[in-house]
């Protein structure tokens, strides 16, 4: 069996004594020393900070969240760092209150889509074409007007819905347009990453439509794992 005895004072860790009574215990002692090296350094710093009046405040709020982050310098582990977690405002759903500038831009991308007919009511056959037999039976006495009402998106009109759907199909291969929606009048996407080709495609589309974008490090979807892209009219 191996043991470690740690001697503490207000100056930090004063001494660490190890002992074992067997050969296997000596091997275990080596592993104990290896495993406790970084925690002991943290313990030493925490004690010194406490007695020097630098201990973390107990009044830290959710708006000022701090965590210990692993420090890995090109494969070499160092002391963890205390960092403040910053989060961005999450966007609302992409179909919710779609800005006019976005709809106008998508119309430029798809000029031959037939926008004038988008708002026209669909026939019963069109509305039920891809529904299940159970749904069709349930609504066999429902009027065409009500079926059209069920078909519409709840937070946008038919033109806005078509614009968002077409945009999604247009950028489906671009990894930068991920976890996206609206913050005010701004299109916000929060991807996990992207390629140079993705950036080129985004630049080309923005230049074509008179849009511009910026890239930020503070995101709301998955802080520390996603970046934030904000797109707006130039």
pLDDT in tens, 51-97: 888 765 554 444 557 888 888 889 888 888 888 888 999 999 999 99
Give strand ranges (E) for 38-185.
Answer: 66-73, 76-84, 181-183
Which comes out higher in pLDDT, residue 134 or 146? 134
pLDDT at 75: 86
d(CA 16, CA 38): 13
The closest of 164, 173, 165 to 202, measured between CA atoms, is 173
Q: How many H-runs (helices) and E-runs (strands) does the chain carry?
A: 7, 8
Task: Say yes or no to pLDDT of 198 above 90.
Answer: yes
Provide long-range contacts, Cβ within 8 A and 24+ apart, for 209-218.
Answer: 209/105, 209/108, 209/109, 210/105, 210/234, 211/101, 211/105, 216/88, 218/86, 218/87, 218/88
Q: Please check whether residue 182 is in contact with residue 196, taking contact to mean a CB–CB distance below 8 angstroms.
A: no
166 pLDDT band (50/70/90 cuts)? very high
**Length of the chain in terms of residues written:** 234
Q: Which two tokens stand for residue 107?
A: 């119309």
Q: How many CA atoms lie within 13 A of 183 on its CB side?
A: 16
Enter the tokens of residue 76.
């070499």
The answer to whether the Cα torsion of 156, 159, 165, 171 is positive or negative is negative
The DSSP annotation for 29-46 comes to HHHHHHHHHHHHHHHHHH
- Output 24 or 7, whichever has higher pLDDT: 7
Alpha carbon 92 to its chain centroid, in Å, reads 13
Residues whose CB falls within 8 Å of the CB of residue 60, separated by 6 or more in sequence, listed in order: 66
Tokens of 17: 């004594």
Most confident residue range from 2-11, 32-41, 65-74, 200-209: 200-209
Calpha distance 201→213 (Å, rounded)? 12
């Amino acid at each position: 069996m191996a043991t470690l005895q740690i001697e503490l004072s207000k100056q930090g860790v004063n001494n660490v004594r190890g002992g074992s009574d067997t050969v296997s215990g000596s091997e275990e002692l080596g592993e104990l020393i290896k495993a406790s090296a970084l925690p002991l350094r943290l313990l030493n710093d925490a004690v010194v900070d406490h007695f020097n009046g630098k201990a973390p405040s107990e009044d830290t709020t959710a708006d000022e969240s701090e965590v210990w982050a692993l420090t890995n310098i090109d494969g070499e582990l160092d002391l963890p760092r205390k960092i403040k977690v910053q989060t961005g405002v999450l966007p609302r759903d992409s179909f919710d209150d779609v800005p006019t500038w976005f709809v106008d831009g998508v119309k430029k991308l798809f000029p031959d889509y037939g926008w004038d007919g988008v708002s026209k009511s669909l026939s019963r056959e069109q509305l039920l074409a891809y529904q299940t037999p159970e749904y069709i039976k349930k609504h066999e006495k429902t009027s065409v007007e009500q079926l059209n009402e069920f078909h519409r998106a709840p937070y946008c009109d038919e033109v806005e819905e078509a614009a968002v759907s077409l945009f999604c199909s247009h950028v489906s291969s671009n990894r930068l347009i991920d976890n996206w929606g609206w913050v005010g009048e701004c299109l916000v996407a929060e991807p996990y990453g992207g390629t140079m080709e993705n950036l080129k495609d985004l630049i080309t589309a923005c230049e074509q439509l008179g849009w511009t974008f910026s890239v930020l490090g503070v995101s709301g979807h998955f802080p520390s794992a996603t970046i934030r892209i904000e797109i707006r009219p130039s």
